[in-house]
Every structure is written in C-alpha cells, then in structure tokens.
Structure 1
Amino acid sequence: MLLGDLGADVIKIEKPGSGDDTRSWGPPFVGDNSTYFLSVNRNKKSVAVDIKHPDGQQILQQLISQSDVVVENFIPGKLDSLGLGYSSITTYNPSIIYCSISGYGPTGPYAKRAGYDVIASAVGGLMNITGPHDGEPAKVGVAITDLATGLYAQGAIMAALLHRQTTGKGQKIDCNLLSTQVACLVNVASAYLNAEVEPRRWGTAHANIVPYEAFRTAGGSPIVVGAGNNQHFDILCNVMGVEHLKSDERFSDNSKRVQHRTQLISELANRFLELTTGEWLDRLDGCGIPYGPINTMEQVFTDPQVRHSQLVREIEQNDGNRVHIIGHPVQYSDVDPEVRLPPPLLGEHTEEILLSTLGYDRDTVDTLNKSRTIQLHAGEKFTTAA
C-alpha cells in the first residue's frame, strides 16, 4: 500500500471466491468488505486467480515477467512447489526483486509455522513488556508487529530498487515477523544484553525516565506528561505549582527520580487530581514539555492537529459505497502521495489486467472464468475448485 501511495502500480493476487482473509474480519463492514480490509488496501488492483491451477500459475508467471517487484507471504517453500519461487522466477525475469514476508524466516526450527502478529509479539517478547504494572501481559491495540514488518519490507524494497538501478541486479529479500519484533525491542533488548536487566511491565510509565506516564485528573480522560531532562522537570513543577519538588535531593536528576519513582509519582498523582484534564491542558499549553490527553477515536479525529494534517480521505468504491481511509502520513516537498484507487472489490481488475496488460482475448478470459481459474468481479459467488 505504501509503495502504491508513492506511485507503484500494485496488483493484489487473491483467491477466487473468498479473497484476502481480512475481507471477512468483521464486523464492522462496508458492503461486503470489513473495515479492517479497507484500512490497508488502497491503491491496489485486485486480480482473483487460483494459483493451484496450472493456467492460474501461467497467468502469474506472465504478470511477474513484466513486473519489478514480487511481494509474497506464503509459508516458506509453498510457492516453490507451484513454480512461483524465486529460483524459478529468475529464469525468466532475472532482475526481479522478490520480497518474502513470513512468520519466522525461510530456515530454522520455526520456518514452517504460520505467522500471525499476536504470536510473533508473544514469542518476540513484546507482550511480556506490555500491560499494566503487576498485571497480565497484553497485546498492543493494533497489529504493530505486522505494521513494523511492512515498514521494514518497504524500506528493503526501495533499497533493492536503488541497488538494481546501480548494478542491474535483482535480489531476494526475506522479512519475518519474529526478527522484526526482536529488532523493535531496541532499548529493552540493549538493557538485557548489556546489563542482564530482565524488563517488567510498566503500564503507561517508562522504565528509564521519570515522570513519563499517564495521570488521572479531577475529570476527563487521563493526561500523559513526560520530563526527559531536568529542565523539563523544573517546568512541570512550576506549571503544577509543586516547586518544592525541584529542590528535593531525591528528585535532583533523572537517575534519582527513577530510583525514587514511587514517592515522586505519588506526589504528582495527588496534584493532578485537583484539576480537570481541560484545566491542566490550558496550564500546560506552550510550556515546552511533551504532554497530551489519552484520546478516544472520536477525540482523535476531531483533534485540531489531526484535522490540520488532512489525514482522513473519503473515496468511493465501484459498488457505490463511500469509505473513509487514512492517507499517506509523510509529506514531500516535490510530490504528493495520492489515494488514486479505493480498496478494490474482489476480482475487480481481473478482466482489465488479463485483457489490457497480458493481451488475452475475450474467449480465453471467458474460458478461464468458466473453469473458475479466475474471478472477474466481486458479484460472482462460488467456491474455488480443488
């Protein structure tokens, strides 16, 4: 999707009849598609092909022969058995960039395991450090390991394209959820590897910075404040009217504030309870330290900065349904990443790609459709032949 935002012509290959599993991950739905599917499939064309059928494999081979990049997320080895693995593809498109995304990588004891975000976040340690203090492990509210792996894949593909432009050579890229998750442990991993510190769950708090967490108030949602240095701490104390804490030796620098976390947080928590969130936000406005309320979705999308950034786009699908999606979050001085295509209906572009891109004639397309090797449009409902 991100590559599509930047101008790539993306063809999404789906299974006839059911398509991408996430189409059914609901409710809620808009038409026949879940809002989950709508969130990550803009700027793609949907081609429904049964890749188990020899004719379907031929269609993919023809598409790949004209493509710059292949991205696939099958269990390692599956596409090799269908003649669609990297070694097979390089015989007719040696400059291809072939990006495989799996749960655990192409080799090793877990290679054949199915990969899902929540499992990778568990095995990779994220769940063990997420959740309330002294509470149970928790998952992050979105599939953050999936998202981070997609971001790593995007960067790797862009780097491989640049390498090919320089050398003329394509290559295979392997990204996996577990490696991504371990890499995303960053400072927590460093503390363990270098100081043998086994992390704990801190809720909204930070293991190495105090104060840096959410506080309840006299009314409204909790507020989050952070003091990353002594100047920030002094400002916070002044804003809150607790100037005496600045001269307390226990809180004179961050390492001491971490050491005496319980006493300091207790003082601040009691003070925050004296005013509402709105009143605290007014006091903190323009002070120079990081702060903000914990917003609901309604509050997020009415937030003045979010509205100013114009992140929300409305677009109409070909079934007439209008959907709202989040646009590209990065701004460029010379280009404007566009929402050029709505999230596609299942098989919406099969006919277009076969006729226009691959040069099939109408009779061949009709024959493939009748044999259920392809699906021409979302209105057709059938179970793919075994």
Structure 2
Amino acid sequence: MEVKSGPLADLRVVEMGQLIAGPFCGQLLADFGADVVKIEQPGIGDPMREWGREKAHGKTLWWPLIARNKKSVTCNLRVPEGQAIVRELIAKADILIENFRPGTMERWGLGYEELSAINPRLIMVRVSGYGQTGPYSQRAGYGAIGEAMGGLRYVIGDPSTPPSRAGIAIGDTLAAMHAAFGAVMAVNARHRTGRGQVVDSAIYEAVLNFMESIVIEYDKTGYIRERTGPILPNISPSNVYPTADDQQILIGANQDTVFKRLAKAMGQAELGDDPRYATHGARGQHQQELDEIIARWTATVNATELLDLLEESGVPSGRIYRAPEMLEDAHFKARNAIVRLMHPEFGEVAMQNVAPRLSDTPGSVRHCGPELGQHTEEILTGELGYSAEKIATLRTAGIV
C-alpha cells in the first residue's frame, strides 16, 4: 500500500478533466501527496494516453508523466448510473477538478449547486478557455487560443515573421498552475469558513497574468510590445552569442556592475565607463551595436573556455539546454532535478522531479501514470462498498 506523505496528503481529489489543463493541475496536487482519483471513459480513457510525438511500444511517453501519482477509475459520465457513482465519490472528496466546456457538468447533473448540496465542503476547480462567465464562456477554448487572446503569441518570435508559439502547451499549464494555487487557497479558506467554493481558472486570464506590464504600458503611454526575437528591448546586454566552436551561449549582463565585469573579461574594460554603455538606459539605446561588439568577441572563444571565464568573472551565462544536456548536467544530478523510476512496460524512465522543494514536507514522484481503470475495483469495493457482482454488471453495461 502506498504510504501517504507530502503537505497535501490529507486531501482527496477527484479529477474529471482530460488532455492537459485539468490533468496537470491534478499532477501538481498529486506530486505533493494529494490522493488523486482520475475518472476516465471506459475503454477509451484520457486522450493523453495517446498524445505525444515519440512513443515506446506504440504507447505515449507523456502519460506516465502527467498521470503520475494518480489512481485511475473508469466511469461513463454520460449516463445516470455513472453520474451516480461519481456523486458517491465526490461526497467524500475535498477537491473536484474538471476542464470540460462550461455547462457540460451541469448537463450531467454535476454542477456546483448539485454537488455542494451533497458535500458543502467541496472545492470545485474549473479550468476552461474563457472562464465560467462572460459572453465567450460557452466557446470551445484550447490553450493555443488562450495564448493568443492573453497576449503571449503576439510577442513570441522574430519581428520579421508572424507570431510563433512556444514549443510546449504553455497556456494549458499556466491555467493548471493557477487552478492548483486556487485549490490550495480555497482549502485554506475552508479552514475558517467550513465551506467549499468554486475556483474558476480561465486559460486566457492565466496567460494574461504572466504578461508583465504590457497593459499598463499601453494604457499610460500607448506603447505596444512587439516581437523582438532573442532580446527584450532596452535590456542590454542579454542575448544569445556565437562561439568559436559554433555553439550558442546566453549572456545576461544588463546590470551596470555586471556589465563592467563583462567588459573586463572581454579585455575591453573601457567599455564599462563609455557613456554609450555605462548605464542601463544608455546600453538600451545602443543595444544593437553593443551586441555586435560582444558577438565579435565571443566568436573568438570556444564555448567551454568562454563559460569558465564568465563564471570566474561573475557574469551570468549558460548553454541553451535540451533534454540530453539536462540528463548529463552535474547541477541537475546534484539536486535530483530529474528522477528515474520503473514503468511496467517501458522499464526505467526519466522525468522531471517535483517542484518547488519543501524542506519539511516535500512532494515526491511515487509511480508512473496508471493503466486505464487500474483502481476501479479497489475504489468501488474498498470505499463505496460495491460487491464484485455489481461491478461485473456495471462493466458489462459499459458504465465502468
């Protein structure tokens, strides 16, 4: 039997979401000890069981990560019998996560009014593209749309090209992080009030929340941030620079004192006192020419030698990592940033560890994502008191 640990070990979570936004919220809570029971469609399961470009044995390598530490129970939410089972589970739950289109849960008789009548302490976490209210709430809203509407897509990429996308589903994961944060806040509020509440996490608002000062800048000055490739306007030097051995090194020396150290490391200490580069504002005005000066210098030094010199000089710098570099990096290893655990089919697999780190009640990765319906019988018999005969009947009818 799995030993419960972590700061959320006293919480039962029912996860009814699918794809990324809901399930990543569930993953975050499960990583810190919450007992997460994932509800999946019988015979089909979460589409994340099939997603992902690279596969092993014809099966996705994304599922073991996003469903880690969870239990899987199959239940057909579209029929009254399945909805009745879910109500029994929710009656004993602390948190319910769902990321269906707004109105879906209500059509199934599983809206917050119905569920809070069964369990007044229930916290219902709802993740959607546009939120539960407003004129767009009923629209289909994927993460990519939220990224565009929240302002992120417009500022990603090179100014000479149309807006780009990040190489990950950032809108979904940001909404999931806000949802998890909201769930924990609601649990804390429940300690005082004794009541649950709804956590409404909209993808476009989660993205908007990360967009720094773009709104106030426009509101007060009319300034609109544009795509700027690898730099931020007026933040200099902070860019990717070439090396003699055809590597790319990121250097961030935009603070006055740090730039002086960089200039000294370059053998051009006079740049630190040059009126064109001595202050943050001046460097911003001469950003392009300063980048060209630095690039001419870095192009004469091999990457390893360059990084050693910059480290000795106290100048923030680093390589641009991919998975191979992460797996070999000494700092990743020392902090156990990537963990390895056994998967029943794939053998040993590597995945990112839990973050953030808590000194007294840390989270942990206890197991990979479960097989479809792996815990159905355990939950229905052990917690709800269903007999083996009843479960068999439900299976035959396609309800579990």
TM-score range, shorter chain: over 0.9
1:338 alignment counterpart:
364
Contact 2:174 2:206 (C-alpha < 8 Å) held by counterparts: yes
2:223 alignment counterpart:
197
2:122 is matched by which residue type in structure 1?
I
Q: 1:364 to 1:192 in 2, by over 3 A?
A: same
Q: Equivalents in 1 of 2:224, 2:239: separation in Å? A: 21
TM alignment of 1:277-316, pairs within 5 A: 277-316=303-342
1:107 alignment counterpart:
133
More deviation in 259-268 or 334-343?
334-343
Q: Equivalents in 2 of 1:34, 1:71: separation in Å? A: 23
Could you say what secondary structure the match of 1:67 adopts?
coil
2:276 alignment counterpart:
250
Could you say what secondary structure the match of 1:56 adopts?
helix
Could you say what secondary structure the match of 1:174 adopts?
strand
1:265 alignment counterpart:
291
Q: In the TM superposition, what whole-angstrom CA distance separates every residue of 1:121-155 from its partner, at most 9, and x where no partner exists?
A: 12222111011242331111211221111111111
Q: Equivalents in 2 of 1:224, 1:29: separation in Å? A: 32
- In the alignment, structure 1 segments of 5+ residues that lack a partner are 375-386
Q: TM-score, normalised by structure 2?
A: 0.90
Following TM superposition, by how much is the alpha carbon of 1:220 offset from its aligned partner in structure 2, in angstroms? 4.2
1:359 paired to 2:367: no
1:179 alignment counterpart:
205
Q: Equivalents in 2 of 1:329, 1:219: separation in Å? A: 35
Q: 1:27 to 1:263 in 2, by over 3 A?
A: closer
Q: Equivalents in 2 of 1:66, 1:151: separation in Å? A: 24
Identity %: 33
1:238 paired to 2:285: no
2:67 is matched by which residue type in structure 1?
N
Q: TM-score, normalised by structure 1?
A: 0.93
Following TM superposition, by how much is the alpha carbon of 1:323 offset from its aligned partner in structure 2, in angstroms? 2.8
Q: In the TM superposition, what whole-angstrom CA distance separates every residue of 1:174-202 from its partner, at most 9, and x where no partner exists?
A: 00100111111113333223322111112
Q: Equivalents in 2 of 1:35, 1:342: separation in Å? A: 10
User: Which of the residues 11, 28, 34 maps onto 2:54?
Assistant: 28
1:219 alignment counterpart:
245
Contact 2:276 2:282 (C-alpha < 8 Å) held by counterparts: yes
TM alignment of 1:52-131, pairs within 5 A: 52-131=78-157
Contact 1:30 1:321 (C-alpha < 8 Å) held by counterparts: no
What's the Cα RMSD here?
Answer: 1.6
Contact 2:234 2:285 (C-alpha < 8 Å) held by counterparts: no
Q: Equivalents in 2 of 1:305, 1:217: separation in Å? A: 23
More deviation in 39-48 or 68-77?
39-48
- In the alignment, structure 2 segments of 5+ residues that lack a partner are 1-26
Q: Equivalents in 2 of 1:99, 1:296: separation in Å? A: 33
1:199 is matched by which residue type in structure 2?
R
1:68 is matched by which residue type in structure 2?
D
Q: 1:318 to 1:56 in 2, by over 3 A?
A: farther
